[in-house]
Structure 1
Amino acid sequence: MGEAALAGEHAVKPLVSASSAEGLLTLTMANPPANALSIAMMEALKGALERARDDAGVRVIVLRSGEKLFSAGHDLKELTAHRKDTDRGRAFFEKTMELCAGLMQTIVRHPKPVIAEVDGVATAAGCQLVASCDLAVASDVSRFATPGVNIGLFCSTPMVALSRNVSRKHAMEMLLTGEMMDAETARSFGLLNRVVARDALGETVKGMAKLVASKSSLTVKIGKEAFYHQAEMNLSEAYDYTVRVMVENMLARDAEEGIGAFIEKRAPEWQDK
């Protein structure tokens, strides 16, 4: 994908910059001061993700921030400005929430793994963004919250991603109290995979991304899709579905190569098919 600048239609400056190397696509958000998920920011992110979908040079995507905050969530000033509309903002609120829901589902349904690299505060829809990613690594100074309840706007859409990552009791604690939590607490809740020192964050994420990128991209695609699909099924349905997935996977060239390489004690040569 090379170096590129990606912006929403109404952005004066690029809101998302993209750089790629070694099969890793890094998307860096830049919407100071709070890295708010405005309409333009969400359109830019969604567009960048969609362009990466069929890019064979992209095997793993890293989502990070170039600001002091990862993301403070929706742009409340943008939302409030539309209260002056004749419908009191209903149409714009619907557009914002639907676009956000679409962005989160784009991440979950993306054929490439998406890793959140968090250095700073992630709140509300920003926390939802972290929860929607397949993996998440944060610096030890990062903090997380779903504080909508504090301003009379319950974090109902962030709740979808949150409740699919952490236990119900932990999710409700975050949603009902709105309190900020440190990175280690977020990790213990299940929101994060790892917490590392700030100066080790970039290299830790890169190492994780390169490890995932070294696998067969076809196998990873099959596995990611199956993981989220079976999670919504009951036990017997999930086993019926994953049996079919395993059989089809076994018939793939990369499975034949990978198993053969394991038996022969050699490195596999992936063809991603």
Structure 2
Amino acid sequence: MQESSILLRDRDGDGILRLTLNDARRRNALSEAMLEELASAFAEAGADPSVRVVILGANGPAFCAGHDLKEMTAGREASDHGRGYFTKVMAMCSGVMQAILNCPKPVIAEVTGIATAAGCQLVASCDLAVAADTAQFSTPGVHIGLFCSTPMVALSRNVGSKHAMEMLLIGNMTSAARAAEIGLVNQVVSADALRETTLAMARTIASKSSMTLATGKRAFYAQREMPLAEAYDYASRVMVDNMLARDAEEGIGAFIEKRAPKWHDQ
């Protein structure tokens, strides 16, 4: 597939795929074109056995500024004043966020600059996030009369209710350090150390059994939505199936024998 100029695809070795938002002129906005590229890239990554971990980064001063408001405004020119167009774009965006969660490969956001509105949603939708100490996050829709309702879904599943509501109701920028305090990102490092820190995390994850990672990621998001007893029943079934898998037998055997495991990814 020919590489899109607005979404770059590179291999960092060790089964690590790097996706880079590359539309700095529009502050890496989630335009229709960008959403289509992201949907395609995550579908391909999920189906490619050579990909073990995905890093999502960005070029330019902004990680992602959210929806392309110029595109959204142009959509109002339709006879329905944009209802059909807005419905389509929201479905596309929601689909991308769910594609990240449904991708069997762990996804790490590597954040520089600002991540606002749906851009903040993008970070929150990733499994892990590492941010430069200069990064900032916000859900600023209230400033323009548009509550960040779809970003709220991912945000409220990452941080506590009061922290999420603070960001949603006030709309001001949240520093990288504060984002780490409330659980929106995992680590904050200097901009110079960001790429290597993210790569080190990705390499550590990539060294594990991809079967185990896919099993665990799927189970994590599934059980989170269940009542406690149902979650334990579900997780117990997952654990039994996992114990019967070839890599669990190999990993436990390697631990007992004090040797490095040889994964078969099954």
TM-score normalised by the shorter chain: which range applies?
over 0.9
2:67 partner SS: coil
Q: CA deviation at 1:60?
A: 0.1
> Could you state the TM-score of these two structures normalised by the residue count of structure 2?
0.98
2:56 partner SS: strand
Percent identity (aligned):
60
Following superposition of structure 1 onto structure 2, how do residues 12-31 of structure 1 map, counting pairs within 5 Å?
14-20=5-11, 21-31=13-23
Provide Cα deviations, 1:144-175, integer angstroms capped at 9, x if missing partner.
00000110000000000000000000000000
Alpha carbons 1:71, 1:126 under 8 Å: kept:
yes
Q: Is 48-57 or 242-251 further displaced after alignment?
A: 48-57
Q: Is 50-59 or 96-105 further displaced after alignment?
A: 50-59
**Which of residues 37, 40, 52 is equivalent to 2:45?**
52
Following superposition of structure 1 onto structure 2, how do residues 172-187 of structure 1 map, counting pairs within 5 Å?
172-187=165-180
Provide Cα deviations, 1:3-60, integer angstroms capped at 9, x if missing partner.
x7533xxxxxx11010112200000011122110001001001101101112111000
Q: CA deviation at 1:67?
A: 1.6
Alpha carbons 1:5, 1:17 under 8 Å: kept:
no
The residue aligned with 2:239 is 246
**Gaps spanning 5+ residues in structure 2: where?**
none
Alpha carbons 1:26, 1:62 under 8 Å: kept:
yes
The residue aligned with 1:229 is 222
> Could you state the TM-score of these two structures normalised by the residue count of structure 1?
0.95
2:263 partner SS: coil
2:9 is aligned with 1:6: no
2:128 is aligned with 1:135: yes
Following superposition of structure 1 onto structure 2, how do residues 105-120 of structure 1 map, counting pairs within 5 Å?
105-120=98-113
The residue aligned with 2:92 is 99
Provide Cα deviations, 1:43-87, integer angstroms capped at 9, x if missing partner.
001101101112111000000001210000000000001111111
Provide Cα deviations, 1:205-259, integer angstroms capped at 9, x if missing partner.
0000000000000000000000000000010000000000000000000000000
The residue aligned with 1:10 is none
2:75 partner SS: helix
Aligned residues: 264
Structure 1 vs Structure 2 CA RMSD: 0.8
Structure 1 residue ranges (4+ consecutive) displaced by more than 4 angstroms after TM superposition: none
Provide the C-alpha distance between the structure 2 equivalents of 1:51 and 1:209, rounded to a whole number of angstroms.
Answer: 18
Alpha carbons 1:5, 1:16 under 8 Å: kept:
no
The residue aligned with 2:148 is 155
1:6 partner SS: coil
